[in-house]
Amino acid sequence: MNGKSGESLSTVEVEGIYFDGRSSRDRAARLTVQGDQVTVQTSADGVSGGTEARWPLARVSIDPPLPGVRRVLKFPDRTRFETEDDAAIRAIERRARRTRPLSDRMLGGVRQLEGSWGLTFAALGLMGAFVWGFIAFGLPAIARGAAAATPSRVLTTFDRETVDLLDKPPYLGPSKLSAARQAELQRGFRQVVGWAGGAYSYRLLLRDGEPEDDGNGSFGGFSLGANAFALPGGTVVMTDQLVALARSDRELLGVLAHESGHVTHRHGLAGVYQALGLTLLTTVVTGDLVSAGTFAAAAPAALLQRGYSRAAETQADEVAGAFMLEKYRTTRPLRDILARLENKDAKADESSVQSGNRIEDLLQSHPGTANRIEHLRALEQAAK
């Protein structure tokens, strides 16, 4: 065995213990690394004689370090050497850098992170930033991409399931409009979807939004009231209460055009995917598939009530604006019915909506009605 002096740069010596892999007996051992050669020596003790084994460094596997745990070197014949001397093992690791698997080297880096409170909290901060960035930007982008790529057959299925769920009291009941009035609105809807285009199975469902109207108003129950909404596959639901609120069919066609915008831009499906992505993210953190599955089942229903994002509403308004400018050269009817929806007042028009508090606007996920009316007016100005 070579001494350390003179060759200290090329020779590493470590004291530790040795297991031969055949019995559970631990033996004091010395490991020497010289050049590319690893030598493990045990000296004779009362039970058995000394041993010596040599291995090329490249065939020795060095287990990634763990905080506070002895370092372990494993040899191809299932023997192993363990030592407390982390510094010496790190010197050997540096020497074996080129031949060690990438994952082992990366876990060495992980050990560095774990070793210091500062780096741990930096990792925590980085993780926070990553999660925020992912939820705010990454996930919506992925969800939009996935929504655009989804075949329309899936969308039709989604519509059918949602309508099955909603098309009964207390949500919806059969429309009380006359057959003639319904046919008139269906004709208008066909005009809108003919303009909107796309391979969707469009249909307009006219329904009563307060099917259990017993004079108590909406106390205690969930009521859609004056409302219109679009499902991903092209199904648009419009309630009798909204029809009653309108003073002209132009207003209603504006609303339907807005809903067709949600369909063609696949806002609904993107929302569902976004909720699914959030679920996956929670699964990654908790590693628990079962509770994630339960959450995923509840997500679409929650989404239906939450509605669309600001950006989605603005985009749908732009579609509606384009339709109205093309057909009537004005966006005024849509602005008026928006104002009436906001004020729940049949006599209101666009001038009766006041611009809200700025902070309130920011907190809302829906754009404030005042902003939407302003935006529609700007669209009309731009077209002139």
List all residues 6 or more positions away from 138 whose beta carbon is below 8 Å from its beta carbon: none
Cα–Cα distance measured from residue 309 to residue 313, given in angstroms and rounded to the nearest whole number: 6
Rank residues 47 and 199 by Cβ distance to other proteins and give the closer one. Answer: 47
**Per CB under 8 A, 141 contacts other proteins:** no
230, 296, 337, 339: which one contacts other proteins (CB under 8 A)? 296
Asked if 175 contacts 206 with a C-beta cutoff of 8 angstroms, the reply is yes
- Contact region for other proteins (CB under 8 A) — 18-26, 169-177, 351-359, 374-382? 18-26
Cα–Cα distance measured from residue 135 to residue 141, given in angstroms and rounded to the nearest whole number: 10
Find which of other proteins, Zn ion, none residue 223 binds, CB within 5 to 8 Å per kind: none
CB of residue 311 to other proteins, shortest distance in Å: 24
Asked if 316 contacts 332 with a C-beta cutoff of 8 angstroms, the reply is no
Rank residues 115 and 221 by Cβ distance to other proteins and give the closer one. Answer: 115
**Per CB under 8 A, 50 contacts other proteins:** no
- Nearest CA among 240, 239, 231 for reference residue 260: 231
DSSP assignment string, 67-93: TTS-EEEE-TTS-EEEES-HHHHHHHH
- Contact region for other proteins (CB under 8 A) — 85-93, 150-158, 239-247, 366-374? 150-158
Cα–Cα distance measured from residue 129 to residue 359, given in angstroms and rounded to the nearest whole number: 24
For residue 298 the two structure tokens come to 């509840």
**Per CB under 8 A, 124 contacts other proteins:** yes
Tell which positions 225-254 bind other proteins, by CB under 8 A. Answer: none
**Per CB under 8 A, 60 contacts other proteins:** no
Question: What phi and psi values does residue 225 have, to the nearest 5 degrees?
Answer: 60, -145
For residue 330 the two structure tokens come to 């004005």
7, 8, 21, 183: which one contacts other proteins (CB under 8 A)? 21
Residues contributing to the site for other proteins (CB under 8 A): 19-26, 47-48, 66-70, 72, 78-80, 103, 107, 110, 113-117, 120-121, 123-124, 126-127, 130-131, 154, 157-158, 161, 280-281, 283-285, 287-290, 293, 296-297, 300
